[in-house]
Amino acid sequence: MRFVRRRRLIIAIACVLVALTVLMAFGVYGLLRGPANASEPVSTPHSASASPTLPTRIGRPQPIAATTDPEQFAHDVAHALLTWDTRYPGGLAVWVQVLVDVANADEAPAVASDARSYFPAPAIWQQLSAYGTRQSIEIKSVIVPRAWSIALDQAAPGQIPEGATAFTVVGARHRSGIWDTEEMHTARPVTFTVFVVCPGHNPCELLRLSILNQPLA
């Protein structure tokens, strides 16, 4: 009888350990996937031992090149906004700074606030860094939304800066990290609007960013 009770105890402990391992794995998976957004379409994430979409080398912040082409500028901003690597030693702030560096001088504080909302919170960034988490965006389209044309028609003179344009970006966010020697990969759709201004022959500047997954349509 004592042997039977001991055997049951060992089985119970083993079951608890398995359950804890599963919960921990799903916890990390949730971190890699990112918080759900009420307005964000839900996609089915994928996991694999190796991800073909993201490089294993450590990514580093890349400055946004000066250009007078508003669509190219919006494309580059979108990449900078959703591309980061927690393994880079500079921390979270250096990735946000890339966006601030191309912001319109009057809108720089607002751009900094907008950009930070796209990145993980500092505490989450620290947790993600333990798993070497990195992210990139696959852009599917960059278009001027119909709502922007309506806004231009209805705006009072001088209300919208000359040379300002809005671009709605549609794409997929890819996130990858290492859990227990295996690489886990998640992907989910993203969409947002980038507001830019290209004054005359001067390089384009970033005016504002919409809330993630709440773009102009």
Q: What percent of the chain has pLDDT over 90?
A: 65
Task: Give the mean model confidence (pLDDT) for residues 64-68.
Answer: 98
> Is the pLDDT at 48 greater than 60, yes or no?
no
User: What are 18's two structure tokens?
Assistant: 């398995």
Residues linked to residue 141 through DSSP beta bridges, in sequence order: 170
Q: Are 90 and 191 in contact (CB under 8 A)?
A: no
The continuous run of DSSP H or E covering 178 comes out as strand 164-179
Each residue's pLDDT tens digit, 86-139:
999 999 999 999 999 999 999 999 999 999 999 999 999 999 999 999 999 999
pLDDT score of 96: 98
The CA-atom distances, in angstroms, between 50 and each of 53, 163, 178, 189 are 9, 44, 9, 21
User: What are 181's two structure tokens?
Assistant: 């020697």
The domain segmentation of the chain, as residue ranges, is 2-209
The 10 Å CB-count burial string (b at 16+, else e) for 129-166 is bebbbbbbbeeeebebbeebeeeeeeeeeeebbeebbb
pLDDT score of 115: 98
> Is the pLDDT at 6 greater than 50, yes or no?
no
pLDDT score of 55: 53
Nearest to 165 by CA among 111, 208, 115: 208
> Is the pLDDT at 17 greater than 80, yes or no?
no
Split at pLDDT 50, 70, 90, the class of 34 is low
**Residues 6 or more apart in contact with residue 81 via CB below 8 angstroms:** 99, 115, 118, 137, 192, 194, 209
pTM (2 decimals)?
A: 0.77
Whole-angstrom Cα distance, residue 85 to residue 65?
20
> Is the pLDDT at 2 greater than 70, yes or no?
no
pLDDT score of 182: 86
